[in-house]
Amino acid sequence: MQPLGVDEPTAVGPYRLLGRLGSGGMGRVYLGRSAGGRTVAVKIVHPHFALDEEFRARFRREVDAARRVGGAWTAPVLDADPEAAVPWVATGYAAGPSLTAAVTDGGPLPEHSVRVLGAGLAEALAAVHELGLVHRDVKPSNVLLTVDGPLLIDFGIARATDGTASLTSTGVSIGSPGYMSPEQILSKGVSGAADVFSLGAVLAFAATGTPPFPGDSSASLLYKVVHEEPELGSLSGELRDVVAACLDKSAQ
């Protein structure tokens, strides 16, 4: 956790902010505390996005999707104000690193840990899909490793499987290169199979320390996901078979 900068808020809604947990393309995440002492994670969008009505629609979708999912494998939404001058959402705080940080700092996970990770994420995605939703951005930085198991976070681009709304205008990401499925890249119909493909890429990263579609640019990554076979390195046995099945392009 980083200390608050002089230009950062000290309170949002009813929550006092204690420090910054991280930041990304959509906004910043802070550690907050309610008047009653409950610790939460507060996500605040970047102010310039607050002026974009399409982005506000995306943020409302994130809050709605996260509220609907809840449960043991995702961080529950506790409070939110999508209509605020600068929209924000507060979720239950989960103490634990992201999968990205864990692998970067400690190297690939042991096979047993990858299996546990896969089982937990599969249950989380099953809960998402049973609600008729597709996460569409399953990647290592959206997986938190906690003492109670993995948590799937950030439903910023989740959408209903029967929805027709599209949030793919210039500057609005529809996924993460290297982890998004071929059908997302090609703008084809997206179903729960897209999340399964991304799950395979996440497990490959967890087990080997490198993504299955490496590249030094977004264009290179997108091309490889669509046209090339994944690089699974030292993966072997049943775990390799599971990851390869998830990454099977013909099954999408």
Q: Which two tokens stand for residue 18?
A: 């204690």
Q: Which two tokens stand for residue 52?
A: 């974009």
Determine the residue type at 195: D
Among candidates 15, 10, 19, which has minimal Cα distance to 37?
Answer: 15
Beta-carbon contacts of 230 under 8 Å, excluding residues fewer than 6 positions away, are 200, 201, 204, 212, 213, 243, 244, 247
The rounded distance, in Å, linking the Cα atoms of 46 and 19 is: 16
Of 79, 81, 137, 148, catalytic: 137
Beta-carbon contacts of 100 under 8 Å, excluding residues fewer than 6 positions away, are 140, 141
> Could you tell me whether strands 27-33 and 15-23 are parallel, antiparallel, or unpaired per DSSP bridges?
antiparallel
Could you give the angle at the alpha carbon of 70 between the alpha carbons of 99 and 34, nearest 5°?
85
Catalytic residue status for 137: yes
Q: How far apart are the first and last CA of the chain?
A: 39
Determine the residue type at 216: D
For residues 140 and 100, is the Cβ–Cβ distance under 8 A? yes
The rounded distance, in Å, linking the Cα atoms of 150 and 135 is: 15
Residues taking part in catalysis = 137
